[in-house]
Amino acid sequence: MKKQNLVIVGGGSTYTIGMIMSLIAEKKNFPLNSITFYDNDEKRQEKVAKATSIILDEYYPELESFHYTTDKETAFTGIDIAFIQIRTGGLQMREMDEQIPLKYGVVGQETCGPGGMAYGLRSIRDMIELVYDIKKYSKDAWILNYTNPAAIVAEALKREFPQVPKLINICDMPIAIMHSFATMLNKNIWDLVPSYFGLNHFGWFTKIEDSEGNDLTQIIKDTIMGEGFVPTDQEIANDQSWQQTFEQARKMLIDFPEFLPNTYLQYYLYPDDLAKKESLTNTRARQVINGREKRITELCNQIIQDKSTKNVELHVDIHGVYMVKAAASLVYNLKQTYIVMVENNGIISNIPDDAMVEVPALLTASGPKPFSVGKVPTFYKGLIENQFAYEKLVADAYFENSYTKALQALTLNRMVVHVPTAKAILDDLIKANKGYWPELQ
Ligand code: G6P
Ligand code: MN
């Protein structure tokens, strides 16, 4: 097995330590020669990197090298694979994305609704630049992107790089949900075989089977209806916000028992209830700043102070393991199945070919080979087409600098609908995102 040279773009992220623990846990399946961190925030990255260096000395002594840098050429030269996990504007801008819509009674959320649009219009430019730069210095490198809002980022990257191979967008929400299925069924998560369709943060499991082909879907539905649904991955299991989110699966199943929903559908199906529950001064970004970010900063400080991990608790999370396993399947041609984003081209036969859909695919060295889904029922087709039109219009607004397209996007979004509301939110978002967004005319 050839050892890989990996760059993590967004090295200062609160997810990086979890990713490092996942790389350590998976080192037999995805052996590394070097790890490099790249970030444009030198200070933030430095702390995570210093702690990482100590963790790696203890748990990955065979690793040839670990570096961190803010220089793209240094970061991207001679690499085999890049994981991209950036957040343009940081958690501060996430908070604005969540607060501004909420002032108008509309859900404020990282990737859904107007907040998702705002974040999308910030992410696209950086993502395009990064893909050009990585390809410039390492043209054969794989790029695994999980930067949000992944649906909009995937749509924009597809347009900018229609011919660029080895670029794949992936999200951890389906596997985080499957983690809960596996716990509920007392099964190994990697033995579950999902059938799934939709767009990113906008999809449904149609079936869950075990490795012997037994259909477990009804047991899962019955358990959720009877006992509710809870997050079980360690990273989110004790988080109140995620607990509430998972609990909504029950309500969605009662209303629409056909398929098992992705948790993000709650924002689209019950927007008013969710907007009412949120508090302007404590949206999710604030909770993450006071929660995960604080916890990771303290953890890094402790490791750096002790020059050892002896006084901290480190754990592997499903998010990291999923990305690493998917990467291994791509670079070693393992042909394992993961749920990823690909251009539709007939996979879901009754929605547009150019939609970036999220479906199970075999990950091979020549790219993802998705399984066919066939026709989806009218309700889902309608929802997906509406959402895809919104996502396309956001990308249009970016590439055409179009105010009208952005307004059309928000008007189509199920969380907004009313044009005056869309306009008011859009105008506020434009002010808040000055310097990040293209100038909309
Ligand atoms: C899941 C989603 C990610 C999203 C994250 C937000 O993992 O798949 O796309 O960024 O949740 O979690 P947070 O704890 O930051 O609200
Ligand atoms: Mn996601």
Mutate to test the pocket of ligand 1, among 148, 201, 235, 358 (most ligand atoms within 8 A of CB): 148
Mark whether 132 is an active-site residue.
no
- Domain ranges in the chain are 4-170+286-318
Mark whether 332 is an active-site residue.
no
Alpha-carbon gap, residue 406 to 115, rounded angstroms = 12
From the list 97, 126, 172, 428, the catalytic residue is 172
> What is the reported pLDDT for 292?
97
> What is the reported pLDDT for 411?
98
Nearest residue (CA) to ligand 1, atom 8: 173
| Ligand nearest to the CA of residue 241, numbered in listed order | 1
Mutate to test the pocket of ligand 1, among 87, 171, 321, 341 (most ligand atoms within 8 A of CB): 171
> What is the reported pLDDT for 97?
98
Distances (CA, A) of 33 to 17, 55, 60, 412: 18, 16, 10, 47
pTM more than 0.90: yes
In 3D, which of 61, 33, 6 has the Cα closest to residue 324?
6
> What is the reported pLDDT for 156?
98
Domain covering 4-170+286-318, topology: Rossmann fold (3.40.50)
Distance 357 CA to ligand 2 centre (A): 13
Instruction: Give me the chain's average pLDDT, please.
Output: 98
Q: How far separated are the first and last CA of the chain, in Å rounded? A: 52
> What is the reported pLDDT for 219?
98
Distance 78 CA to ligand 1 centre (A): 31
Helix (H, G, I), strand (E, B) or coil at 83: strand
Q: Assess whether the C-beta atom of 326 lies below 6 angstroms from ligand 1.
A: no
Query: Which atom of ligand 1 is nearest the CA belonging to 236?
Result: 14
Q: Which residues lie below 8 Å from residue 197, measured CB to CB, with a gap of 6+?
A: 203, 204, 206, 347, 348, 357, 358, 359, 373, 376, 380
Regions of the chain short of the pLDDT cut 50: none
In 3D, which of 148, 82, 68, 84 has the Cα closest to residue 116?
148
> What is the reported pLDDT for 200?
98
> What is the reported pLDDT for 233?
97
Query: Which atom of ligand 1 is nearest the CA belonging to 146?
Result: 9
Alpha-carbon gap, residue 160 to 162, rounded angstroms = 6
Q: Assess whether the C-beta atom of 392 lies below 6 angstroms from ligand 1.
A: no
